[in-house]
A and B are shown apart, each in its own frame.
Chain A
């Protein structure tokens, strides 16, 4: 009985070890690349960890895709990779930006949301490739994304409507005066709750998917050759994760656009 318990604890540690941030990158079994601990400002540790490295690699892949591989200045119809990317770009611009922000703002802000969509999508997909780790399964990364959204919401609201007009967004017209004392703080809580929900949704979705895959793999480890049927489960969950990677990138972008739209055009609410 005792060896079984210790083995299950080992497997739990193994799953956790695969998901947490750490100061080294091992792309292949046996290969371990330590990352330098360089930056330290006061007591804040800003050293480069695995997920920071993954963010940089993701940014590099995004840059390569759109700066070099994406050919927009061709006379004939796009084909190959350009065609695939153009489908996604048009989808984000027409179905998300223009739909929720209006024709003018949508076109102006489309690059911002395209950045969100493709960066999150590539980070999600990198988590499914064995040599990389998934940076979006780290709550600090998703909180950073959500902070960008909430900054855009506040800045956009203040710039568009002015400071007083920004406050008026939280005061629906046509109510008795005393109701505003209760209603306005509650409406303003949305500014905190919305980015928190964005943060936890992306983080928890990616984390849960990876834990389920790792749990299926650990069943194979635990049951040795008799666990081989669980390989089907692994493949199924992996395919599901592929879908989730796209859906979560879409949802994050969509909700950011909806929240920003409700700040820019409050009368639509």
Chain B
């Protein structure tokens, strides 16, 4: 049988998969944008970091819920 802590760990892993896909796609698009327009690197970088942090925040919500489930 899988324990509650094990299930919580699987959930945290799933959250990380989603965040990884999102951030990877975002960074790829940002690189394309920089390659096409190198002078816009500052703006693109700032916007990219902001969006990455939002995605990371969602992944961390999942992580916090996994912690809570682990404590049960």
A interface residues with partner B (beta carbon < 8 Å): 197, 200-201, 203-205, 207-208, 247, 251, 254
Contact = CB atoms under 8 A, between A and B. Distances in A.
Interface residues of B, number: 9
A108 to B, nearest CB: 24
A205 B61 contact: no
B64 A200 contact: yes
A201 B60 contact: yes
B8 interface: no
Contact of A200 (B49, B53, B61): B61
A146 to B, nearest CB: 13
Contacts, number: 25
Interface in B10-51: 49-50
Contacts of A200: 57, 60-61, 64
A254 B56 CA distance: 16
B63 A197 contact: no
A197 B57 CA distance: 8
A166 B50 CA distance: 28
A81 B64 CA distance: 37
A138 B65 CA distance: 15
Contacts of A197: 57
A59 B56 CA distance: 28
A254 B51 CA distance: 13
Nearest to B57: A201
